[in-house]
Amino acid sequence: MKAISLFSCGGIGDLAVSHAGFDILVANELLEDRAEVFKHNHPSTQMIVGDICDKKLEILNATKNLLNGQKLDLVFATPPCQGMSKNGRGYLLNAMRKGVKSTIDPRNQLIIPTIEIFLQSGADTLVMENVPEMENTYIPNPDKDGEFIKILDFIKQSLSNAFVSSVQVIEFADYGVPQNRQRLLSIFTRNEKLKSHFKKYGSLFPNPTHSKDGVFLPKWRTLRDAISHLPKLNAGQFETSFDDSIEYHKVPLLDEEKYFWVSNTPQEKGAFDNQCINPTCKFDKNPTHSAGKDKDGINKSSTETPLYCVKCNSLLPRPWVKTGDEYRLMKGYTSAYKRMSWDVPAGTLTRNLSYACSDKKLHPEQHRTLSLHEAMILHTISDYSFDWKRADGKKVSDKLIRELIGESIPPAGLEKIFLHLTAILNGQIIEAKTEAKQFCLLDD
């Protein structure tokens, strides 16, 4: 089966597409460094680098040439999601009333060239991935001046009623990924086999393979399952911050103060709650850090949290800011400098995964953040032969690795979704559904 990929980044999501049996003929990505990683890992795909709005014709022509008269089956599109959360309808209407057009994030309108390419490519199926907020994101309606339309409604309005849509928020931990990551997957199709499956079952998504409670399905895979076997690291000193035998099992060093806060943070806790370490006091009931809404409803962390032990007045190992000889508690989220838990999946990996000050980024017990190697396991990239190399031979920076992980979808979870589609297309799904039914009957 033939596919093209839009907003392809380094091609991590595309691992799932190609492993499920699609030949990705053409891909498009705005940024050169990301496209170089894509090219190295998908050498038989024609990568077109540049803004999709300028490259529309080039993408369509390259696809047509490579298809050589065959039919295109799939367009896989993963537009950027950074602008999705704030563009609610009320927010946009307010902004328009005030004449502030710049508040409309132009990235949300990349859906327009996406749909144009999909329709002109003649493909049967469009699979899109985005943040769950996309479901409630509005854009100016290109067909009605001065009006707004939800992105999903715009897509439906643009496609004829020969298409059906199956849209679902997917929790990737439900598909065996040791990471909680929720994404909105939307499938639009006019393929007769997929449509008839949808008519029968009401969904084009596979049943989960794992569950939070572990009652009827295996329990979510945890951090302990995925990374507890790895050699220990310590971000206090260069010599202990990496392991020579495993590529990318390395962490950035913590400076002296951060290391002091982190090394005094017990399992399951955050550094803002650290207790007295004065050996003659060791008081462990100092008030912990908290957050609450202020009079405008904005979430603010408490300003009452002590930085000095309420019993012996020693400085607590809590994140501080020092001005001259004076210390005050650092302002910040209560989840900063917080440890992850061993017995649940990792939280959503972001490009900040190496920053101790970011949201819940500390290793469950060692004094450090996650290594890049651990992030690759938790994101299931290590299940594939993916090289952190660029086609132009330049070095892939750690920053780029973090960005590519933070912006992509765990491929092993996504592969299960694409395999379900290919199983329907190849007529193999009956067996799987029969098993599911038997399972339900037993359950009843």
Ligand X SMILES: C[S@@+](CC[C@H](N)C(=O)[O-])C[C@H]1O[C@@H](n2cnc3c(N)ncnc32)[C@H](O)[C@@H]1O
Binding site for ligand X (CB under 6 A): 7-10, 12-13, 28-31, 34, 51-52, 78, 80-81, 110, 404, 407-409
CB closer to ligand X out of 29 and 36: 29
Minimum gap (Å) between residue 247 Cβ and ligand X: 20
Minimum gap (Å) between residue 141 Cβ and ligand X: 20
Distances (CA, A) of 324 to 261, 315, 320, 328, 332: 20, 15, 13, 11, 21
- Considering only CA atoms, give the Rg of the chain: 25
Residue 79: what residue type? P
Token duo for residue 303: 């300003």
Minimum gap (Å) between residue 405 Cβ and ligand X: 9
CB contact set of 342 (below 8 Å; sequence gap of 6+): 222, 223, 224, 228, 267, 364, 365
Minimum gap (Å) between residue 425 Cβ and ligand X: 22
CA separation for the pair 321, 327 (Å, rounded):
6
Token duo for residue 155: 């897509």
Measured in whole angstroms, how far is the alpha carbon of residue 269 from the centre of its chain?
Answer: 24
At what angle are helices 151-158 and 111-121 packed, to 10 degrees?
A: 20
CB closer to ligand X out of 8 and 369: 8
CB closer to ligand X out of 129 and 171: 129
Token duo for residue 340: 């992850």
Phi-psi group of 360: left, alpha or beta (phi > 0 → left; psi -120 to 50 → alpha; rest → beta): left
Place of tokens 């799939």: 74
CA separation for the pair 87, 90 (Å, rounded):
8
CB closer to ligand X out of 130 and 358: 130
Minimum gap (Å) between residue 414 Cβ and ligand X: 8
CB closer to ligand X out of 50 and 306: 50
Token duo for residue 36: 């170089």
Minimum gap (Å) between residue 118 Cβ and ligand X: 15
Minimum gap (Å) between residue 381 Cβ and ligand X: 10
CB closer to ligand X out of 78 and 265: 78
**SS3 helix, strand, coil % of the chain, rounded to 5?**
35, 15, 45
Minimum gap (Å) between residue 32 Cβ and ligand X: 10
CA separation for the pair 47, 407 (Å, rounded):
19
CB closer to ligand X out of 20 and 316: 20
DSSP character for 179?
Answer: B
CB closer to ligand X out of 78 and 241: 78
